[in-house]
Structure formats: structure tokens, C-alpha cells
A and B are shown apart, each in its own frame.
Chain A
Amino acid sequence: MGEVIVITSGKGGVGKTTTTANVGTGLAKLNKKVVLIDTDIGLRNLDVVMGLENRIVYNLVDVVEGNCRIKQALIKDKRYQNLYLLPSAQTRDKSAVSPEQMKKLADELKEEFDYILMDCPAGIEQGFKNAIAGADRALVVTTPEVSAVRDADRIIGLLEANEIKQTHLVVNRLRMDMVKRGDMMSSDDVVEILAVDLIGVVPDDEGIVVSTNQGEPLVGNESLAGQAFMNICKRITGESIPFLDLNGKASLMQRLASIFKK
């Protein structure tokens, strides 16, 4: 029986889709059978981040409305046999799907997949309600900025109210240089404020932009962000992994690596 994980944040642009793509791909790397569902109806994005935009035939709304079977709408990943994407519809709106329908879909997919990741739209309206409907647990993505943390707090409250049993925090786009000189909240600060368990800290990394440009998630590569995402995946599967040292030596190595790349 699989587990449904919703990736949410409240605020837009903090890295929900990037996190979904990387965590999903990472779990597939760990030999789990994974399906990613883009629940942002009308603003489809997960397909381009995964590099699968040219393979879409059917979408989430088609499945829910019974225009096709689930199997027909699932797109197999380019690189991993055990990773699938259920894309969102681009020409419809959030009201095309109801939370009940999403729950039913999630329950069906649980029979066959180890992990079902729901990429949640920004906001707290219908799209959010759809995305969390069938979820067993949640990853709340935030960046160390006041607006993102405030929205994350609201989302955490709503997840609790909707009885999502497990909520974990991903602090994304952390810049250690700024944290060191005191101009950015640290992941500890964010955890203290939000009072939820941390599952990962992802440093700000140009590699993310490059990998998104190419449509190939960077999870598992040697970059700090790649390692950070892989660690999140391992923690999801229940492994206990120490947090990365994002300081000093690592960033020096990063700088050296980036010099050689040029």
C-alpha cells in the first residue's frame, strides 16, 4: 500500500514543483515505484520541469472525467522505468476536479505505487483542497523569507485542521553566506518559528536553474542541492540521515568545482 505525499507551501515560487520533481526522481532512484501528480489545473508546470512536455496525451481532468483510464494518462519518465507523471490540464480551471475525486484517484494509485506525490498549487483555495484531499503526509516547502514563512505557517495550520498526520518542513534556497553574516534567517530560525520537524535544507544552487532548463532533475548528483534532495528522499523512506554541512569546506569545494566547470 503506497503513501500519498502532498508538496505544498502557500506562497508561490518557493520551489514546490522543483521539490516534487527532485524528490520524485530521487525516490525512483531508490527503486521505489513513484507517480507525480500535477494538481495545478490551468497552470501546468511539472511536465516541463520533468522534461516530459512533449509526451502528454491525456491529463488529470481526463482521468477524473472518465475520458480515459488512469494507465493511459500516465507518462513514463525518460530515465526511470518506475517513475510516472500524471500531468495537469492546461485549458481548464481548478473547479474541474473535486477533493472527493482526488481522494478516489489517490486511493486507486496507492494500490500500485509506493509513493504518490501531489504537486500543490500556490494559495489555499480549491486547488489546495484538491491536492491535500488524499494525502497521508505533507512536505511544506518554504524559503527563509518573511513572506514564505508566514504563508507556510498558515498552511501548516490548515494541514493540521484537515488531519494530515505528518507534516515535514523543507527549507529551500538557503544562502549560507547570507546566514553567516546575519542577513538571512537560518534553517534553525525557521524551524523554531514554525515548530515542525525539518526533513531537509536545500541550498540555493544555480544548478537547479540549469537542470530545470534541461528538464532533468539534479537529485543525486554531486552538487549540494542534489545531495540535499537525495537526503530528503532517504528520510522519506525512513532512513536516518544527518543533515548536510552547508558551511565552509563544502562551499569552497563548490566554488572550486564551478571554476573548473568554466
Chain B
Amino acid sequence: MGIADLFKKKASGNVAKDRLKLVLVSDRANCSPEIMEQMKNDIIKVISKYVEIDEEKLDIEITQTDSEENNGKVPALIANIPIKDLKSPRK
């Protein structure tokens, strides 16, 4: 029995819908976990040039967001990058 069962509020139809939305985003983007990992490493490399970041807690994912132009959903890459310390500007 999972924690979700204890609260038993969320109907399974909605659970299905939410799970599908998430899985379809990565299906549609055709983005494998390896590519995500490479992208994550590259992002770390670039950002680390400027600020000190918490690599452990860095989290990136492809999700959906409301499109501004047409009223639909578009895939978006969301990165949550905790900063440990702002480095002083170089040069």
C-alpha cells in the first residue's frame, strides 16, 4: 500500500491522465535518458563558468507549458539549478 492510498482522494482517472501527459512529453520529444544526462552535464559545465552551483540538486526535465501564440501546450525544458555561491565576474 502506497502513501497515495492513505489519502485516497485522487481518482484513478486523473492519475492516468497526469501520468500520460508526462510520459507523452518525453515520447514526443524523443529524448532518451542518456541525452538528458548529456544535456545536464553540458548545462553544468556552462553555468559553472559563472556561478558555483549545487550539482547534486540540479534537476532538468522536459515538461509542457502553455504556448503564448496559439492557445495550446508546447514542450518546455525546465531546469532547476540551485546556486551555492555567486562568483565574482571574471576579467
| Beta-carbon contact of B14 and A146 below 8 Å | no
The answer to whether B28 touches A185 (Cβ under 8 A) is no
Q: Is A146's CB under 8 angstroms from B20's CB?
A: yes
Question: Beyond A153-B27, A154-B27, A195-B72, is A183–B20 a contact (Cβ under 8 Å)?
Answer: no
Type the 1/0 row for A201-244, where 1 means its CB is closer than 8 Å to any CB of B: 00000000000000000000000000000000000000000000
Chain B contact surface mostly: helix
Q: Which of B12, B14, B21, B72 contacts A193 (CB 8 A)?
A: B21
A182 contacts B13, CB within 8 Å?
A: yes
Question: A157 — which chain B residues lie within 8 A by C-beta?
Answer: 28
Chain B positions within 8 Å of A181 at CB level:
11
Contacts of A149 in B (CB 8 A): 20
Q: Are B24 and A185 in contact (CB under 8 A)?
A: no
A residues near B12, Cβ cutoff 8 Å: 182-184
Judge whether A189 is part of the interface by a CB distance below 8 angstroms: yes
* Overall SS of chain A's interface: helix
Chain B residue nearest to A181 in the complex (CB):
B11
Within the assembled complex, what's the spacing in Å between the Cα atoms of A86 and B12? 42
B24 touches A183 (CB 8 A): no
Q: Which of A128-166 contact B (CB under 8 A)?
A: 144-146, 149-150, 153-154, 157
A150 contact set on B, CB distance < 8 A: 20, 23-24, 27
A88 is an interface residue with CB less than 8 A from chain B: no
Given A154-B27, A157-B28, A193-B24, are A146 and B72 also a contact pair (CB < 8 Å)? no
- Report whether B23 and A185 are in contact in the complex, using a CB–CB cutoff of 8 Å: no
Interface mask (A79-101 → B, CB under 8 Å = 1, otherwise 0): 00000000000000000000000
16 contacts between A and B (CB under 8 A): A145-B16, A146-B16, A146-B19, A146-B20, A150-B24, A153-B27, A154-B27, A182-B11, A182-B12, A183-B13, A184-B13, A185-B13, A186-B13, A189-B17, A192-B17, A193-B20
Q: Which residues of A line the B interface, CB within 8 A?
A: 144-146, 149-150, 153-154, 157, 178-179, 181-186, 189, 192-193, 195
Q: Which 9 A-B pairs have the closest CB atoms?
A: A182-B11, A183-B12, A182-B13, A185-B13, A189-B17, A146-B16, A184-B13, A153-B24, A185-B16
